[in-house]
Structure 1
Amino acid sequence: MQARPQIRPDGAVVPTLSAGTTAALTATLGRIDAELAARHPGDPGTRQPVHTCYVPADRVHPDIVGEWGRAARETLTRHAPDPDTLALVTLGGSAAALAADVYAHVSRTLAAEPVQDLRVDLEDGYGIRADSAEDADAVAAARALRSAAAAGTLPACYGLRPKSLDAAVRTRGLRSLDLFLTTLAGDDGPPPGLVVTLPKVSAPEQVVVFCDVLTALEHQLGIGPVALEIQVETPAAVMGLPALVAAAPGRLTGLHVGTYDYSAALGISAADQASDHPAVELATALMQLAAAGTGVRVADGSSNLLPVGTAADVHAGWRRHGELVRRAWSRGLYQGWDLHPAQLVSRHAAVAGCLLRGLPDALRRLADYAAARASGSVADEPATARALAGHVLRALDAHLLDDTRLRTAGLDRATVSRLGGRPPGARPR
């Protein structure tokens, strides 16, 4: 029999189910709420580096960041001495209106912060060497990073990529990890911003064991938890992404695609191996799906077409690199790998182009949302407002936007940070 609605004297409709009944029916969801909150805490809200620069361990020295910056500036001066040339080869399409601003940004960034994330490489970029040589290089690289930190030149994010947990190199990789962390810790702990990248992961059990090793080292050295990145470069890793993400709760901060190992594992010819190959883009899309809401960030791969040689060769390398960076940004991949100092030019130019192109619209729409205004043909929702705020925050991080322009747009840092989910004063992870 259908119950008739109860109407109060004031005309208000009384709910059919009592509050107690509703609470009893939904009581079991409390556990699910807690599990979802733990698994999906959301983006950490910190500044994300635009790249990770990989340097073989034997080439790392205290002034490595300065060396890369100087080499990049020399390449810029030699092969793109004016804004129009740089814009033509790195931005694509019609970029004349952005050329001067992009050139100024690249010049400033190469002088002040050429490298945002540095990784000492003891894996593929370093190769197999005598045990005595790798021991010495692991220790020397850690000492160099401590010296850089003391001099104020260490990037806010830095770390190590040891060899994988594959049986053939497992003992060697863990020994180097131990030597590196032991030296880096010293008597006062490692500099802030440390990340370790585990390559060639194929099973969640490898991640669990690696975390156990890190925990043992942290306990013995008396240091805090070390952040972990997983390099996704095997078909098994792509097929098991949810399990990999779940294998390192509270420690995992990034998933980085290994473009060339993964492409080769699928049988893709060397000529076609690239970050924008459909197979690799499928892998990064699945990585984004597995990482969404977990606080784990996804990074694109690298370009092996280095901008070296003649002017034509350098321009070809910049053009290809710029294409890959712009495509990655359009897909929500705001970080990638750089393997050579000259790639810093095209990296920072392409990033600036992406940010500047979208900035006027992002500022207008975000200001309208913050003021609860509706204008134009777009009605933005909270999730879109967060994405718009993310664009504005990245522009602020890159110093392409200042408080004066924010105020002119009707915004301020506090409002943008709140809408973008960033705690006040947040820095890189």
Structure 2
Amino acid sequence: MTATILFVDDEPDLEALVLQKFRRQIRDGLVSFTFARDGIEALQSIEQHPQVDLVVSDINMPRMDGLSLLAKLQEAEDKKSTIIVSAYGDMSNIRTAMNRGAFDFLTKPIDFADLETTIQKTIRHIEVLREARRRQAEAERAHASLSRYFSPELAKRLIANSDDESMAVQWRDVAAIFTDITGFTTMVETTAPEALGQMLNEYVGGMTEVVFAHEGTVAKVIGDAIEVLFNAPSYQPDYATRAVACAHALDAWAEAFRLRWREKGVNFGVTRIGVHTGTALVGNFGGSRFFDYTAYGDTINTAARLEAANKFLGTRICVSATVANLSENFEGRPVGDLMLRGRSEPLRAYEPLSTARSKAPAVAQYAAAFAKLEAGDVAAMPAFAALVGMHSEDPLAGFHLRRLLNGGKGVRMELG
């Protein structure tokens, strides 16, 4: 690095003397000098050559003295490290200079060996400051990048522990959430771009805030679809419980959002949510140039297929039995044993319910009808018919009744 030094002094012979004394350092590319005869000229020089690293300034000069120049330099956004030169014994001015932010001082007549040592010390200080600023800028960029995926607190922890292996690609147990919006393609084709942009930005922003409130990780946002992870990258022993709570909160936020836009005359679709737990390959798959923290594997695919199952079931949230079993105090009702695409074995699925809804009489009535269905009891059809008659707004009960009317049996089922 070549340090650029601005010498500010009105002595006519100083420029030639400095260039002579530092000729070897100039030849070796260690330093370069520019010169000004007072504070005003120095400020003009810095404006034309902002790469100046260090200012060495006399105090007594015409038009603008060194102390006034120092004050101006300290007001600037890019503060320049400054060495003040003063007459020997002028402690009052030296004290004022140090109070105004001077890095060091020299006395006249200048001892050039002392000047060289002081310049070297100041340049080392400048390099330390530059490295600190570089690290801060990197940290800010990293925080901005990580904040797209992780809650603010988690992003801070990851930056603080940047040498750990939490970002490395690895197999680990996770809970995965997939969300999607019904009829999104049609909405894209029929909605003005500015309105669609406003809606989607508000929607994704709101859903992301919900995820972050539960300390989840936003692994992907593809159009209207959002993929969320728990227990990655930081360990969360209660990851299944968090995932279920997050799914409920996402559903509540999305429904409020949909109804708000419906009042404006926009038919924003229902958000469907699927949740599954299991092992997945997680980590930063972006290589050295990009950051792409995401997950791959059957667990992720299953969560996506459970999300899609809602379309047929009429539900908004569908979770696997592994989620229900791992989640503390899970409340919900069984959907059935789903044969999902890509899986050879059926997967028991549940519709999670809020505490208030789980205590409703209709839920107990559904449980009794489902038990008959699971047992192969012919009384399952009238039980579901009675339930639908009393609660026509229950889409899951209606799904089972239609299936029975079409000849379906038991709780094992293929969806579309």
**What TM-score, normalized to structure 2?**
0.21
Normalized per residue, the structure richer in helix is 1
Normalized per residue, the structure richer in strand is 2
| Larger RCO of the pair (alpha carbons < 8 Å, separation 6+) | 1
**What TM-score, normalized to structure 1?**
0.21
